[in-house]
Structure 1
Amino acid sequence: MRLEVITPENYEAALDIAVAPGQEDLVAPVVKSLAEAYVFPEFAWPRLICDGDRVVGFVMAFVGIPWSDGGRRSGLWRLNIAADAQGAGYGRFAVAAVCDELRGRGSSRAYVTWEPRAGGPEGFYLRLGFRATGEVSHGQTVGVLDL
């Protein structure tokens, strides 16, 4: 498993990533994430998740984004694992890789948000060590992991 920079040669593979049916309301499509990375290049860190020659997902971190409390935060912005690749450890790998990147940039915490509904990713993030902060951002639960 590895992360790859998105290039003119592989961006179409990124656009083809589709989550499982019933998950579309949990994460924005990759095309929206790439548009946000283009508009906010100073904060976005987008990468493809690959296993051999196969593209299995997309992850995007946010780095040093201004937060409502006047500080700055870094964390996991998006995580899209292809429907046929879910449950194989790719999400866990991608979150760990993002945390390593943030740690290398001097961050002591990683933040994430999730939709608080049955079938959502809350259990996944809690198993990785994130804890709910009690904050809500755009209707989503805010979680934090000490790095």
Structure 2
Amino acid sequence: MSSLRLERITPRNVDAACGLSVRPDQGHLVEPVARSLAEAYAWGEVAWPRLVHDGDELVGFLMGFFHIPWREDTPTDLRSGLWRLNIAAERQGRGYGRFAVLSVAEEARRRGETRIYTTWEPGDDGPEGFYLRLGFRANGERSGGETVGEVDL
């Protein structure tokens, strides 16, 4: 895994990015990459979309967020963290998701953050265990029906 790296989305790789898909049984847990890229476009500099490569092979997609207004009623509550994570169906369980989350944490630290957030769909088939193993803890909040987790950097 020493050849893991992040790559920006470009005209050269956008089709490959949009073709990336999770396992069929996970489709209800995460939005497709194309939806994430549309949100990244709409959110401009707040969104941080990246492809995860192992050597020359595309294995995943992540989208971080930095200084996003978390609640409309509290515009000064700006947060940063992991917005989206899609690891290719045939590449899951190999540490790519962990690399992606740690990459967002590293970028957050570089930007002066001391905590990051993410959300996940609750349920036995959801990714809660993955995030808890990475040190996230549910903080009692909900966002769009999802559990909000946070971890100190």
Q: TM-score, normalised by structure 2?
A: 0.94
d(CA) in 1 for partners of 2:100, 2:70 = 24
Residue type of the partner of 1:42?
Answer: E
d(CA) in 1 for partners of 2:89, 2:77 = 36
Gaps of 5+ in 1: none
Gaps of 5+ in 2: none
Residue type of the partner of 1:96?
Answer: L
Matches within 5 A, 1:54-69: 54-68=57-71, 69=74
Q: Does 1:3 align with 2:6?
A: yes
Residue type of the partner of 1:84?
Answer: E
d(CA) in 2 for partners of 1:43, 1:104 = 15
Q: Does 1:126 align with 2:129?
A: no
Secondary structure in structure 1 of the residue aligned to 2:26:
coil
Shifted more, 42-51 versus 66-75: the winner is 66-75
1:46-105 deviation digits (Å, cap 9, x = unpaired): 000000110001000010001224310000000000000000100000000000001100
Match of 1:24 in 2: 27
Secondary structure in structure 2 of the residue aligned to 1:42:
helix
- Offset, 1:119: 1.2
d(CA) in 2 for partners of 1:137, 1:8 = 32
Match of 1:137 in 2: 143
Residue type of the partner of 1:29?
Answer: P
Identity %: 63
d(CA) in 1 for partners of 2:140, 2:87 = 27
d(CA) in 1 for partners of 2:53, 2:9 = 11
Match of 1:146 in 2: 152
Of residues 97, 100, 104, the one that matches 2:103 is 97
Size of the alignment, in residue pairs? 147
Bigger helix fraction: 2
1:116-144 deviation digits (Å, cap 9, x = unpaired): 01111000000000000000111000000
d(CA) in 2 for partners of 1:21, 1:66 = 32
RMSD: 0.7
Q: Does 1:84 align with 2:90?
A: yes
